[in-house]
Structure 1
Amino acid sequence: MALKLVQVNFKARDDSALGRFWAEALDWSVSSAEPGATSVKPVGFVWADPTTVGIDVIRVPDPETVEYRVHIELATTSAAHHAELVARLKELGATPADVGRGDLPSTVLADPEGNVFCVLEPREIHRDTGPIAAVVVDCADPRAMARFWDEAMDWTLHEVTDDHALLRSAKGVGPYLEFLRTPHLKDMRHRAHLDLVPHPIDGQAVEVVRLEALGATLADAGRGDFPWKILADPEGNEFCVLAPA
């Protein structure tokens, strides 16, 4: 059995405030099981078998604020919805963000802690994804990322070119996972990453061994004794394998 993508994990100085922002932005619920960690999930979210991808915000003393490879894209259903959503996000504290690409068919914003995200113009492909249309990971080689992540997860590979690779849950629900070719990537720790859960039968240890055989490397040296395992894919994008639900 392969892994399931369960959430995008953001580092933040104030997890509660950022969690509230995203809960209001997505019209989802917000909860905190322990100090320093805030989860944002839709009502009815099932951890062991998610039909969407949630957001987990973790408080850290000094989150990275410049370089990051993971961002989310929000879906809209019409031009009016797009304008309404952008206006509401700005009222909640989002600010315009200049990423140097004026030709994007989207509005680029930053949340209150500087995490850049996009509000997409209406697209037929995103009509049934829910509020999060896609989770996008910058990379150097989308084809190589497609090979690794297609084997790593239980998602289906929909499209792969030299410029991007597109995966989605095999159930045809929730957002897409896109690997986007991006030049001049820098090698550093990132403020956002993917969290994945293993099948209860196989468990965490078995999945970690399988991922290493696929080309992943352990990346948690010196960061503490966590119940999750921190790994990096072949391009150095960190992700976590959580304990089975």
Structure 2
Amino acid sequence: MKADKTILVTGSSRGLGASICSALQADGYHVIGASRSGKAPDGIEAIACDIGEYQSVKDNLKSVGKMKSLYGLVNAAGIASMNLAISTPPETIERIIRTNLIGTINVNAFLAKRFVRNKGGRIINFSTIAVPISLKGESIYIASKAGVEGFSKSFAREMADFNTTVNVIAPEPIETDLIAKVPAASIQRIIDQQIIPKQFTKDDIVDLTRMLLSESSHMLSGQVFNVGGA
């Protein structure tokens, strides 16, 4: 019964995270959203949490970490800044790395104990197709997401003995607030480098998320799914 399974979705206040929350709730899961603003789509329990700060994770996700029903983590929180490394302010570099990489590690490591006790679960982290194509002007963002991929592959081995899978979804830019200020020409350059050169939608990512959360995905772990192909 999906209603007996709790899934925590970070980045629940908007964009892809909010879409995933709504879709999983419609599928019958018990969904909890976490975001810095403490917002989630209507009808979904929301928690205010800054995943880039471990103390915030420890304090605000404590109740989630005690749930025997915790089945999945979808770590969709992330920020981006399209800038050449030479012109990126140090505080922006730190903010991107802290949210995307350290934040991912914080939530994964904190909730891992619950997955171990539950003897199973599903973890999905998010990267970007900009990593394999080495997109110009996103070196800091790419560094943070390449770290997510490396961490997730190794973490998958650590969690394998506990029947918990860890995978990464790496989509192309999807029409969300995250890329609102990115020029259309830059988006097109990414799409042109994909194996399937067309722009995907949030629904495509939601469907892949559903698959990786399903029981049938029990033999998939440590994988990076480059949506669009690279």
Shorter-normalised TM-score: what interval?
0.3 to 0.5
TM-score, normalization: structure 2?
A: 0.35
- Which structure's residues are more often strand, by fraction? 1
TM-score, normalization: structure 1?
A: 0.33
- Which structure's residues are more often helix, by fraction? 2
More contact order relative to length (CA 8 Å, sep ≥ 6): 1
